Amino acid sequence: MAPWLGLDPVVAAAAVMLLGLLAYAVLGGADFGGGIWDLLARGPRQREQQMAIARAMGPVWEANHVWLVFVVVILFNVFPTAYRALGIAFFGLFHLVLVGIVLRGAAFAFRAAAPADSRYWLLWSRVFGGASAVTPFLLGLAAAAISGGGIRLFPDGTVQVDPSLTWFSPVSLLMGLLTVAMCAYLAGVFLTVETSGPLQEDFRLRALWAGALLALLALALLPLLPAAMPQLWQRFARPTSAPLLVAGAGLAVLSAAAVYTRRYLAARVAAVGQVLVLLGGWAAGQWPYIIYPDVTFHAAAATGPSIRFLLNTLPFGLLVLLPSLWLLFRVFKAEVR
């Protein structure tokens, strides 16, 4: 394929998709985490915690979840072979993800319209929180499944899924939990920036717990990787990956230390960096496979002009999107208490 601005268009499109995925992980992930803390709201300030979460999410959650649609649209535009295989392999899993997304969105909106503390308010809180905890777990499972070698695409087009290498493998379950912990950590850190006083201390403590859980899960995952995802492991074991690993570990320590010492703005930056490195590292380790071991990005790429179309229209799309997003976050997130 002819280069696009000197780049391999497949690589460029994959990079755009990754950027979308990173945006979804940070922004959508924090929304899921908000739901998790809503579910786990406890203590004398339980209701205040829930209200702070609702205030933080209200204006932005819908936009944050469009990033998932953005990624899906790029996937079928540019990598239709992979979209087909994943559509078949993830039939059950993504139907469950959908139920989660629909339920948490609907419950959040229903709750906002219900009188505070009414029976309905409490019911919708539970649905919103429960779906917010389960959905990222399922998304983590999906990420593990495409790296775990359990989804096979044969030359005749048959798609086969080995449940012991996908949904039910220890690595997958750990990656699911890791995703949940990551969402909870992000939300905890973000909420410290948007609250003050005792409420801020509540979220600080929650962020620290989630950070500790995240670290524990990562440590538990590490010894399993060489056997379960050798292609990822080999890549990370190379000396050239060292800076990435150091950066990831460094940011994790930095963000936790910043939360601990109540430097919340710094913690927010470091936590975002940590997630970007974690997910970006996974994606880089995954290259050149979009679904390991049968589908590479290049093999899955559409032969037609859709890649070029996507890349050429991207600057115009971003010309509308980025200033709008800037305005949204400027209006609702610039105020630091």
Partner 1 sequence: MSHLDAARFQMAYSLAFHMIFAALGVGMPALLATAEFLHLRTGDDEYMRLAKTWARATAVLFAIGAVSGTGIALELGLLWPEFMHFAGSTIGPAFALEGYAFFTEAIFLGLYLYGRDRMPPLAHSLTSLAVAVSGATSSVLVTAANAWMQNPVGLETLRANPEQMNPWIIFANSHWWVMALHSTIACYAATGFAAAGIYAWGMLRGRTDTLRRKALAITMAMGLLAALTMPLTGDASAKVVARNQPEKLAAMEALFVTRERAPLLLGGIPNEATGEVCCAIELPGFLSFLAFGSFNAEVMGLDQVPREEWPNIPLVHTSFQLMVGAGMAMIAAGLYYLWVRWRHPEQVSADRRLLWTLVIASPLGYIALETGWIVAEAGRQHWTVWKAMTTAEAVTPAGGMGASMLGFTALYAVLGVILVLLLNRLSHEAPEGK
Q: If binding is defined by CB under 8 A, does position 99 make contact with partner 1?
A: yes
Least Å distance, CB 104 to partner 1, is 8
Report the residue number, 78 or 175, with the smaller CB distance to partner 1.
78
Residue span 276-315 as binding mask against partner 1, x where in contact by CB under 8 A, dash where not: --------------------------xxxxx-xxx--x--
Among 19, 48, 81, 269, binds partner 1 (CB under 8 A): 81
Q: If binding is defined by CB under 8 A, does position 251 make contact with partner 1?
A: no
Q: If binding is defined by CB under 8 A, does position 65 make contact with partner 1?
A: yes
Q: If binding is defined by CB under 8 A, does position 3 make contact with partner 1?
A: no
Q: If binding is defined by CB under 8 A, does position 76 make contact with partner 1?
A: yes
Report the residue number, 97 or 144, with the smaller CB distance to partner 1.
97
Least Å distance, CB 285 to partner 1, is 25
Among 62, 168, 198, 261, binds partner 1 (CB under 8 A): 62
Q: Interacting stretch for partner 1, rule CB under 8 A, among 31-39, 100-108, 259-267, 277-285?
A: 100-108
Q: Interacting stretch for partner 1, rule CB under 8 A, among 76-84, 184-192, 244-252, 269-277?
A: 76-84
Q: Map the footprint of partner 1 across residues 110-169, applying CB under 8 A.
A: 110, 112-114, 159
Residues contacting 78, CB < 8 A, separation 6+: 10, 13, 17, 301, 302, 306, 307, 310
How many other C-beta atoms lie within 10 A of the C-beta of residue 22?
Answer: 20
Residue span 258-277 as binding mask against partner 1, x where in contact by CB under 8 A, dash where not: --------------------
Q: In the complex, which residues of this chain contact partner 1 (CB under 8 A)?
A: 58-60, 62-63, 65-66, 68-70, 72-74, 76-78, 80-81, 83-88, 90-92, 94-95, 97-99, 101-103, 105-106, 108-110, 112-114, 159, 302-306, 308-310, 313, 317, 320-321, 324-325, 327-328, 331-332
